Structure 1
């Protein structure tokens, strides 16, 4: 499949898998937009392979998760090296990796997150949770920054891009607490549960609902901290990329804010943001992008390990 066809498939994938990201991506310049779609296509395919889903829907157990992860690593390595795999999402990654010189370590880091899930890993502490969020989302944020033209050596800007990925993933985890529990997963740190007096094996016990709501709100507050840091980092990007990032931050940030405002409603039904609010953020982000925000200190925030 040639590049143009890969872009068409990638566009269809993002429009089906994430309306929020699809809408924000249209603010990029054409070349950046296509590369963002290509990267998303691969990320979405890896996520679906790991979770037995179709564009993020219908989670089911994979029969041999270790074999699936190994195949994912092999096809990603081949694609990164410039080989054709015959698997469109991986070939799409190969195209964008070659065009933007994406370090293979970042791709490996993302797959490491799926490997954690495959072996039933659970976070013991907040540090563990943030490390996991880095693997499945922060590393993607770093790759997206490189797609936008950030140098792979600019660790400060990549840290800010990582922060946006962390914010997105923390919001996802907060939104999916009940769904994950029904699937036998829990991403709330064990020490949070212990301190709150919640049985880690029965977090959906109605008797502990109020305590659980407080922990969900704690996730939302963390997401807000990392969103704010990422917004400051967006000042380093070209205007159209800055506009797109600020729009995505606002759209996805609204999910965390809506979860907190729901007072536990997210434990009963999935939280969405309306089309009108998404459009509102595109307008609002345009104004924000015109005025570069002041730099914000990252003191106190978790920081990924920088490559030597």
Structure 2
């Protein structure tokens, strides 16, 4: 299947093919819901999406999965080195790093602007020094670079039936909704790393602070105050999904089943948290494999039908 995707995307250089294949493997191993959704895309669209995911995952792991002897200072230095190298290679249009090769090729093909990548690096640096977010505005600043830019990067790959600038706010909102969902699913895991990705002022309204979260982590269960706070955060996140959802109809028809699948499955993570009584410390909320396949099968049928009625977006390298 990888060969078919690369051929469809008109990626023929052996080093480029190897780079894109590496990114696809990363996506398949780590992004179960995300990878499943990409199967709805045309083969020509998939390599670029895999490249962007692989890049984001790689940077995320530098911050979240450091070597045992790493320090915040050494990680900051490492991240700055990667950013400087990437931006220089992006300007040059080439790289001798296998991963960066795929991302830079994708950026060139789809004319992705440099600020989208700079914003992402900014948020990754925040993870090295910021452990709490006092307000929703503060958290939104982080989410801009960690999630909204991902939606904006993927948008030209998906294609639109409206002017791109009209669809862009919806794409950014969907990236934000996914990130907020991750924050809620991973409260316990993030807290174990010393981070809280929920606005402190909103938690305080429910008498929730770090001390109370520490008690929940120690006992492996959320108390009534934390459950109430999580319930409110879910409501906020659902409003972001509602803001994003009209953007699906703005996408190219062959791309809609993919995005709709991702939105459905990520949204159901919130359902699973609710089913657990909003207890995000008792276990990690997941959508079952059976349910993922059920949603994906229906979406795949819609995707195949769409391809019979609408020409797929042409690979950028084939344009002109």
| TM-score where L is the length of structure 2 | 0.81
* Structure 1: distance between partners of 2:211 and 2:90: 40
> Quick one: distance in 1 between partners of 2:25 and 2:222?
41
Specify the alignment match of 2:269 in structure 1: 255
How far the C-alpha of 1:121 sits from its partner, in A, is: 4.5
Residues 272-283 of structure 1 correspond to what in structure 2 (within 5 A)? 272-283=286-297
Residue 245 of structure 1 pairs with residue 255 of structure 2? no
CA distance in 2, matches of 1:24, 1:106: 23
- CA RMSD after TM alignment: 2.8
Paired residue for 1:75? 85
Aligned mates of 2:56, 2:160 — CA distance in 1: 19
Report the equivalent of 1:86.
Answer: 96
Partner of 2:41: 28
1:224-239 equivalences under 5 Å are: 224-239=238-253
Higher CA-based Rg: 2
Q: CA 1:12–1:287 in structure 2 vs 1: closer, same or farther (change >3 Å)?
A: closer
For residues 61 and 27 of structure 1, the distance between their equivalents in structure 2, rounded to whole angstroms, comes to 41
Runs of at least 5 residues in structure 1 that lack an aligned partner in the other structure: 291-308
- Is the counterpart of residue 131 in structure 1 residue 170 in structure 2? no
Deviates more, 1:103-112 or 1:120-129: 120-129
Aligned to 1:13: 26
1:141 aligns to 2:154 (yes or no)? no
User: Are residue 42 (structure 1) and residue 42 (structure 2) matched?
Assistant: no
| Deviation string, structure 1 residues 266-287 (Cα, Å, up to 9, x no partner) | 3121111112211222245468
- Counterpart secondary structure, 1:85: coil
1:180-199 correspondence runs (5 A): 180-199=190-209
Residue of 162, 172, 176 corresponding to 1:162: 172
- Quick one: structure 1 residues 258 and 101, their matched pair in 2 at CA, closer, same or farther if it must change by over 3 Å? same
Query: Given the two structures, how large is their TM-score scaled by the length of structure 1?
Result: 0.84
Higher-RCO chain (CA-CA 8 Å, sequence separation at least 6): 2
What corresponds to 1:2 in structure 2? 15
CA apart distance, 1:131 = 2.6
Question: What number of residue pairs does the alignment pair up?
Answer: 288
Q: Which moved more, 1:242-251 or 1:155-164?
A: 155-164
Checking the alignment, whether the CA contact within 8 Å between 1:82 and 1:98 is kept in structure 2 is no
Shift of 1:114: 0.8
User: Which residue does 1:212 correspond to in 2?
Assistant: 226
Q: 2:284, 2:243 → 1: CA distance? A: 26
Deviation at 1:15, TM superposition (A): 0.3
Q: Residue 208 and residue 252 in structure 1: after superposition, are their counterparts in 2 closer, same or farther (change >3 A)?
A: closer
- Label 1:38 to 1:179 Cα distance change in 2 as closer, same or farther (>3 A): same
Give 5+ residue unaligned stretches, structure 2.
Answer: 1-13, 305-320
Contact 2:95 2:101 in 1 (8 A): yes
